[in-house]
């Protein structure tokens, strides 16, 4: 038996990219999945695929900008499977652009999803983990939390904030809860599609096509953190393309 088999894992942003890859990998290793995202059709298709493959999965529409949605999402895991072992806070967006573009609505969306979405997940899961006496927070960060470059100021700021949050949570978690942040570099996902500045989008697309890695690479890192014994807490994993500066 692996350290993943039988664990109940809830994943936000599960309908594509890193979230979808993580769900499929963990399901293959015996986890029970609770899948959340805004795109219900893709979620249902993913859950159905896992179940038809012999796994266990349930899907629930989730908007991480809504605190109540996160509360219901955690409740769904407990009601369906009797517990929650891991919350993977993976939902995030990155419509990057130069500050001079003044795309304020996009800045607000990044703050709401990338920061407040993680906070709402903590608020929903922490009491459950405390009551259970076990639990693991896994959060998708970014190498942008380690290095800021032009056009990524706001996105990078949100990821710096998430990194600070997870480190603070780790220090407060105590001896029974685990906290991990997995920080990807450039990954082949639909990240580029959210960028509305044409020049920046073209630059990102070129870099993606040149050296971005598959989302399965990040899924394996998440699985590594989850499968460790209960007395081992993997604080942070950075996974980037070999060719990324």
Question: Which tokens is 124 given?
Answer: 């929903």
The shares of helix, strand and coil residues in the chain, as percent rounded to the nearest 5, are 50, 15, 30
Give the angle 33-37-41 at the CA atoms, nearest 5°: 90
Q: What distance in Å separates the CA atoms of residue 160 and residue 162, rounded to the nearest whole number?
A: 5
Q: Looking at 81, 120, 129, 155, which residue is catalytic?
A: 155
Question: Which tokens is 137 given?
Answer: 């927070």
State whether residue 87 is helix, strand or coil: strand
Q: What distance in Å separates the CA atoms of residue 224 and residue 154, rounded to the nearest whole number?
A: 30
- Could you tell me if 44 and 19 are in contact, meaning their C-beta atoms sit under 8 angstroms apart? no
**Beta-strand (E) ranges in the chain?**
8-12, 32-37, 56-61, 86-89, 135-140, 177-184, 236-239
120 carries an active-site annotation:
no
Residue with the two structure tokens 């970014």: 142
Which residues are known to be catalytic? 155
């Amino acid at each position: 038996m692996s350290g993943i088999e039988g664990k109940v894992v809830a994943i936000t942003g599960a309908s594509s990219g890193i979230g979808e890859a993580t769900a499929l990998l963990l399901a293959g290793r015996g986890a029970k999945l609770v899948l959340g995202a805004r795109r219900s059709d893709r979620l249902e298709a993913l859950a159905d695929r896992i179940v038809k493959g012999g796994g266990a999965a349930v899907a629930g529409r989730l908007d991480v900008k809504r605190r109540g949605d996160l509360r219901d999402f955690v409740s769904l895991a407990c009601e369906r499977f009797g517990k929650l072992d891991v919350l993977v806070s993976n939902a995030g967006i990155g419509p990057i652009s130069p500050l001079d573009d003044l795309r304020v609505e996009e800045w607000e969306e990044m703050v709401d999803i990338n920061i407040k979405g993680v906070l709402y997940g903590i608020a929903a899961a922490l009491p459950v983990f405390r009551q259970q006496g076990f639990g693991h927070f896994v959060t998708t960060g970014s190498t942008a939390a380690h290095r800021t470059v032009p056009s990524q100021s706001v996105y990078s700021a949100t990821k710096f904030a998430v990194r600070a949050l997870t480190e603070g949570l780790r220090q407060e978690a105590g001896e029974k809860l685990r906290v991990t942040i997995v920080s990807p570099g450039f990954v082949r996902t639909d990240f580029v599609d959210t960028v509305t500045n044409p020049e920046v989008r073209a630059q990102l697309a070129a870099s993606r096509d040149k050296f971005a890695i598959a989302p399965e690479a990040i899924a394996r890192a998440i699985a590594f953190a989850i499968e460790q014994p209960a007395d081992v807490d993997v604080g942070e994993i950075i996974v980037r393309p070999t060719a990324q500066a």
